[in-house]
Structure 1
Amino acid sequence: MKERQDGAAWQVVETREIYDNPWIRITEHDVVDPNGNPGLYGVVRVHGLAVGILPVDDGGMTWLVGQQRFPRGYYSWELPEGGGSFDDPQGSAERELLEETGLKAGAWQEFLRMDLSNAITDEQAIGYLAWDLKEGAAQPEACERLELRRVPVRDAVAMALSGEIVDAFSQTMLLKADALARRGALPAGLAQHFI
């Protein structure tokens, strides 16, 4: 574990595996916190990598995916995203984009790495910009019932700012891309669609 600047770190006394399935593993730890207090800490260990894609076409449009989210029981509009492989994150992103939207991209750029809910999980995420798009038929997984919405990327940014898009990964990708565009840090052909 990474140590604080003053050298104090969490100490693990004992670890138990509580649950495991193909997607997650839950471990429980008897710990001593950085201040020397004994405690209990549960961690959700995610078996894969989260990948997300912000596709932008030549007209400045992007695709949002609508779906029912089981954990909190609500309908969510998000950028295309899903589980991926640590060994081939971009290949996983290409697969997710095709599955959820039917899109294939000729150009890709990784632009975001983040930890998701790092107090209770070790889940990591990588976000990609995708452009030079070719449309095809979506190929959702058997358990997915998806709805697609094509909107101007500026409108998607506004949806993230207003809270209409509540998915943290989608919000972060949209707002980071917008900030990078305003700083001149995106390819010119993409940046013009945000500003």
Structure 2
Amino acid sequence: MITMEDIIREGHPTLRKVAEEVPIPALEKDKETLVKMLDYVKNSQDPEKSEKYGLRPGIGLAAPQINISKRMIAIHVVDEKGEQHSYALFNPKIVSHSLEKSYLTSGEGCLSVDRAVPGIVPRYARIRVKATNLEGEQVDIRLKGLLAIVFQHEIDHLNGIMFYDHINEANPFQEPENAIAIDR
């Protein structure tokens, strides 16, 4: 079981590395790691388990955050319509995106960052992602809103990018032009 002790924090060199592709079909070891990552995200949202194991609630986790420099992400989140989405993916890649931007009005946070970093994090409003799931199937997913933002945040981790790298240092609360504001 993954706990907060397994999650590395900002400043750790693995968080700034470009993660390696996972050979497909994935090895059992990689599948087990990905299942544990998804379990962490689910457990962290369960008030009893979160309390019992001292888990910080999260909606996504990338393998580099547990010091494994491989292209794997796990996401478990309820979207704006109240629908639950769960993903455990190998080698996710954004293959297209909108010109239109979006951002979370509350800003973004990260399990690897133990401080609040205020500011607007501009993201693409809509993205299309191709990846491989735990069953070894190729998936092609179109995302918008909160889900698109979460995917971009986690895929950034695979490329050594932290969410605050996107914040405008000179004007942290400058809204991107014609962007969709998403309340969370």
TM-score relative to the length of structure 2: 0.25
Larger Rg: 1
Higher helix fraction (1 or 2): 2
Higher strand fraction (1 or 2): 1
Which structure's relative contact order is higher, taking Cα pairs within 8 Å and 6+ residues apart? 2
